[in-house]
Structure 1
Amino acid sequence: MAASKSQDAAPQSPEDDEDDYMSMTIAEPTGPKVKETYTQRRHRLQREAEARAYTKPKAEREADEAAAREDALQRSLLSHPTTQKSKGLAMMSKMGFTPGKALGKGDNADARTEPVGISIKEDRGGIGMDNEKKRRFREEVEKEGKRVKADEGEYRERVRREREEGRLEGLIGTAMRVAERMASEKEEELSTGGGGDVPPKKGAQRSKPLKTVNILWRGLVRKREEAERDRRMRYDLHQSLSRLPTYDDEDEDKDDKKALGKTPIQYALVEDLEEEDPELEEFNALEPAERLQKIVNYLREEYHYCFWCKYTYPDKDMEGCPGLTEEDHD
């Protein structure tokens, strides 16, 4: 017996005598708890009451709800522990469903391997309303892009046309002055019987009605006389305001009033300028290129003068002139 007991008792190594510090459990101190003072207890209860009574702002609540909703939508119900024990999943498993695989035959590459995603609607639009809005928005963007391109083309064309019309108007004014000057020179020659040149008086008014002036440069004459009339009226108004009030003597005659500057100013041909001129309006309604061509043709036929060459030819053949238009002289 003693031998068997001595054999059963195994020799203990020095390592077994050492404590196993990795598996030691440190006991919590069992000393008496420090009692709260009245002030500490009151502060603790106040903090707990404030925490219970705190209400999150609306924006924070909505953010928390959105985060919780997104987290729930991202989790698969098939992997949830409670779903593993559901009768529905067990029935689908018996029908051949395996989580992560599609339903039906396995050779269908387009088969859906996960349920249809949930789309949360935050408005009152019906099903398909978002797609319709996207389609309309896309059409509006395409239409706006086409309109911008069309507007750019129309703008360039309009600017080019306005510049060309402005250039032609300047040429028309020059051609009108040339035609008026040549007509005046011809009238002077006829009135003097072909004698010496008699320069016209500067600033002399016309001696015939405005409607008898040639329609080709009548607009130039009308505009010049209107400007002259307005200038004289402004000058006379300034002079009348600068004069001191004088005594109105009944014994003064016309010569005295004229000498004292009391004679009322009479403007000649004012009524002529105020009258309507349908013929001039019809001529001005023509395109600038057509009006210019009419004046150019008149100068060639009446005076053998080429407006583009700036030269008066000796006869009507006008030998050496390239042509009738500006392009012919380029």
Structure 2
Amino acid sequence: MSDEEDDYMSADFLQGVSDQPVGIAKSRAHKRQLQIHSRFEESRETFKPKRPISHAEREKERREEALAKPISQESKGFALMAKMGFKPGMTLGKQREDEIRITEPISVDIKGNRKGLGHEVEEVQERNDRVEAVMQKMKEQAAKHEELIDDYSKRRKMDNNAKQLVKDIRACRKVCEELDHRIGKKIPIVDWFWRSYKVVQEETEAPKGYYRSRETEKEEEYKYSNGLKAPVDPNYDVSMPTEELEDALSKINTYLRDGHFYCVWCGAEYCSPEDMAEHCPGSTRRAHHGDDDHE
């Protein structure tokens, strides 16, 4: 066998062994390679450099080791206490029935840094103050979030209320015009009770020689559905104040109920005030739909 084959710990040989997979040996040569690889790994762990221990860590280990050891029975202090009847595991002094005493030495907390006395307590207090400040900020953010949600809900509710008011006003105007035409009215009792429509009229051309001689001027005019002149249509929509919408609905609804015995929410025209009072739930949407009403 050559010298190269006998040099089992050479770098080239170990490099080849380290590349071999660990597992069950398939042959005698493979078994030998696995054994060499195992020895090589053990030697690497044995000679693995350790992190140097600092002087402070070494002193701490010695201190904890010394404090963990009980008092030697050969010391003079233990001999004096033994003469007074002390035995290992006993407490010092006379013990009352309701008193609990410690049987182990009090642990010693040795200061191992250059910070001033009481600095640890101050650090704990500062840490607690920071935690409390963070918790307070989180509570304020949560309260602000709830306030934003509440404001959004209120705005959403107001928008839905305005939409419903506009819808009821338009329904009342449509019914009012139809019922007034049925009894022969030419114009509404209040201008806006009927809807008016914009009509565009063209005027005659300007005299020749004028710089706008080829253009025509247009004038806007509003009329009711029967062709009679009408004022500008108010065009009720959700952009109007809620109070104004509620006032307009109250006025036209009162006219329909008193003048035509008609309820827009029942969708029915009654024969008399007595018939309406008996069969109509009331003069508001809430009276007809309960919780479905938008305030």
Higher strand share: 2
Larger proportion of helix: 1
TM-score range, shorter chain: 0.3 to 0.5
Question: If the length of structure 1 is used for normalisation, what is the TM-score?
Answer: 0.40
Structure having the higher Rg = 1
